[in-house]
Structure 1
Amino acid sequence: MRETGHADPRPAPDRQPRPADVRRWRRYLADERAEAAVYRDLAQRRTGEEREILLALADAEGRHQAHWEQLLGVHVGMPQRGDLRTRLLGVLARRFGSVFVLALAQRAEARSPYSRDADASPAMAADERIHGEVLRGLAARGRNRLSGTFRAAVFGANDGLVSNLALVLGISASGAPARTVLLTGLAGLLAGALSMGAGEYVSVRSQRELLEASTPDPEASTALPHLDVDANELTLVYRARGMAAQEAAARAREVLAGLGSDRPPAAPVGAAPDQDPHEAVGTGWGAAASSFAFFASGAVVPVLPHLLGLTGTAALVTACVLVGLALMTTGAVVGLLSGAPPLRRALRQLAIGFGAAAVTYLLGLAFGTTAA
């Protein structure tokens, strides 16, 4: 059985490699070196288990380097630079080392051509696929930490962009004066931002309260020293939280065995190790502030042309262009964080936003014509 994660050693070819093969192998070699450097740069900004995982990925890329060096032989030549995407990834890793870089690295591993190249071993193609899953797991930790406040920020901005563009276009199409359009846009900005902020606060606060109701009571730990060890009803606590009977019994024995004469355990009864159910939710005030600020920052974009003195068609076209760029930016950011193609997410966001705006514009035309 072959050891997973190691490249199959291949002897250098007997024939003289074609120039096209040499160029392709050297490009692969340069990319492997660049990817290994990215993982080492990321590892420098991590500690503990994450650092070890990233260094192990760098070592795996080193094995791939050796494969291409062996095939190239005397044709290895001077070291080349990796492709532009990998070099950009290296710059981001050295400057930020954030979840964005991990998500980009995940996509880079998913684009590996090794499964389609006969000169790459099957183990190397498998390595690249598994590396993508390793990076997905590492990025998931950062995504969980971002999900609460980031969700409010991104979707707040999108709501501001789409709703206020639709409002401004609808009122403009009805034939209202420029001053009315401006005041309507500003009123929509303020009302929407306040509504979003209040809604996010209530939503996140309610979610945290539900989690707190299910979180183990710290005071229950004080009862542990007085439990009947033979009956061991602590087992029922862990079974109620989803553990199998044998696992729950083993966990309960471990907890009771670790009790001091008069010292309760550090973790609450029934808590899983390293459990933080609130981490992915964020805080109510944080979500509300982000939602208010980002809705306002999105909603001000359609109003900007009117604030700058533009009117009529010029103001509408400028607003649509600015909102379109902003929608594509937020869509691309969400795509990067989710490991999805950023361009596809950007175009999807653009289509949804402009679709909603087009409907209100047509309604404005219809009502404006009727009123006339």
Structure 2
Amino acid sequence: MGASVPERPVSAAPSAADIRRWRRYLADEQLEAAVYRDLAQRRSGEEREILLALADAEARHEAHWRALLGDGAGATMRGALRTRVLGFLARRFGSVFVLALAQRAEGRSPYDSDSDATAAMAADERIHEEVVRGLATRGRMRLSGTFRAAVFGANDGLVSNLALVIGISASGAPTHVVLLTGVAGLLAGALSMGAGEYVSVRSQRELLESSTPDPEARTAVADLDVDANELALVYRARGMSESEADEHAREVLRTHDLALTADPAVHAQSDEHEAVGTGLSAALSSFCFFASGAVIPVLPYLFGIEGLPALLIAAALVGLALLGTGAVVGILSGASPLKRGLRQLAIGYGAAAVTYLLGLLFGTTGA
């Protein structure tokens, strides 16, 4: 149905612009199908089946444009740059970042406003976006704890140490003092971030663990009184309605299997544990990434550069790093990488500007 050719008046032959547009669509559909097949090769089970089904859907769209083009299909064109980049990343990495990029690509489909595409094709693209969003969400859940610590650690290191170095430098302090201050800020901040992240994640996991059903509770089922027991209250406390809880409790008493692992509440808590990550991995990521961010503003001073040139170089290096981390967050969240990068840049430079002005003030007043 999605590949049906729209009716065109006999006298209305396709223009050269139509042919070029259709050929570009054809190339994009071929590339997108290849991306999904490449991703499927790195997956197994249900995810593999879903990705292969998406590739088959793109093949239906490809058939639509081939039918419109007929003999005018010619040699395969190169697809859009973003689709080619997506294919390159899929072949090399096959990660959640590629799925996030694919989600954005599906969301930018031009078929809604193109009369040569069928309504079914436009609807397909909208559904494809949701399918890829679901797959990308699985990956985001798997890495969100460590990734969060890494990204925010790097950004904190970049912003805080740039602000510290610029503030001290603006006060008129000698270069060696600025360098020592930057190194001290790096170590202090990295240790503080690592310790704080470890305590935060461990505390969150401990709270989740205290809410997880006790597997040993299944041993009590065989001794429960069939006519008078509180087993149904367990399921009501987990969110079931009274009738559902009573029915489930009767089934458990009949089979003598508490089946805790089949409980939706247990699955939800398991997913939360996975999303939180481990305390040690989060702490190490936070420490390393804060340090990697905090060292960048110090680099000009490490190489002996002084004064205003050192400040400008430090600011430029940090600006590039902030754009990069913001873009990564944007890609992973399915948002615009450019907007996220510019937002990070504005926040970082805003903080640095405040400390620079304070440094000038304290240096002028001798405070």
TM class by shorter chain equals over 0.9
The residue aligned with 2:306 is: 311
- State whether residues 216 and 269 of structure 1, in contact with CA within 8 Å, keep that contact through their aligned partners in structure 2: no
The residue aligned with 1:104 is: 101
Aligned residue pairs: how many?
A: 365
CA separation of 1:255/1:46 partners in 2, compared to 1, >3 Å: closer, same or farther? farther
The residue aligned with 2:186 is: 189
The residue aligned with 1:267 is: 261
- Give the superposition deviation at 1:129: 1.2
Question: What TM-score results when the alignment is normalised by the length of structure 1?
Answer: 0.93
The residue aligned with 1:278 is: 273
1-structure distance, mates of 2:128, 2:168: 52
Please list, as runs of the form range in 1=range in 2, the aligned pairs for 1:45-194 lying within 5 A after superposition.
Answer: 45-194=42-191
1-structure distance, mates of 2:22, 2:238: 53
1:301-351 deviations in Å (ceiling 9; x for gaps): 101111111111111111001100111110000000000000110010000
Letter paired with 1:161 = L
Letter paired with 1:280 = A
The reply to whether residue 37 of structure 1 matches residue 34 of structure 2 is yes
1-structure distance, mates of 2:38, 2:194: 38
CA separation of 1:155/1:100 partners in 2, compared to 1, >3 Å: closer, same or farther? same
1:137-178 deviations in Å (ceiling 9; x for gaps): 110011011111110110000000000000000000000011
Unaligned runs of 5+ in 2: none
Instruction: Give percent identity, aligned residues only.
Output: 74
1-structure distance, mates of 2:240, 2:43: 32
- Give the superposition deviation at 1:60: 1.1
2-structure distance, mates of 1:211, 1:272: 11
The residue aligned with 2:328 is: 333
- Give the superposition deviation at 1:256: 3.8
- State whether residues 260 and 266 of structure 2, in contact with CA within 8 Å, keep that contact through their aligned partners in structure 1: no
Alignment counterpart, residue 299 of structure 1, candidates 294, 307, 317: 294
- Give the superposition deviation at 1:74: 2.0
1:114-142 deviations in Å (ceiling 9; x for gaps): 11111111111111111111111110011
The reply to whether residue 10 of structure 1 matches residue 16 of structure 2 is no
Question: What TM-score results when the alignment is normalised by the length of structure 2?
Answer: 0.94
Alignment counterpart, residue 241 of structure 2, candidates 244, 259, 263: 244
The SS at the match of 2:273 is coil
RMSD: 1.9
CA separation of 1:181/1:253 partners in 2, compared to 1, >3 Å: closer, same or farther? same
Unaligned runs of 5+ in 1: none
The residue aligned with 1:347 is: 342
The SS at the match of 1:229 is coil
Letter paired with 2:44 = T
1:349-370 deviations in Å (ceiling 9; x for gaps): 0000000000000000011000
- State whether residues 11 and 70 of structure 1, in contact with CA within 8 Å, keep that contact through their aligned partners in structure 2: no
